[in-house]
Amino acid sequence: MSQQEIYQIAHQLKQQGKTPSVALIKSQLSVSMPLTAIIKGLQQWQKNPALGETKAEQPAETAAPADTNASADIATLNQQVTSLRQQVATMKVEIDELKNIIAELKAK
The pLDDT tens digits for 23-69 are: 999 999 988 889 999 999 999 989 988 887 766 555 555 545 666 77
The predicted model scores a pTM of 0.49
Whole-number Å distance between alpha carbons of 60 and 62: 5
- 1-40 per-residue burial string, b: 16 or more CB within 10 A, e: under 16: eebebbbbbbbbbeeeeeebeeebbbeeeeeebeeeebee
pLDDT at 91: 92
pLDDT at 64: 54
CB 32 within 8 A of CB 66: no
pLDDT at 74: 86
CB atoms within 10 A of CB 44: 16
The pLDDT tens digits for 74-87 are: 888 888 888 899 89
Whole-number Å distance between alpha carbons of 40 and 34: 10
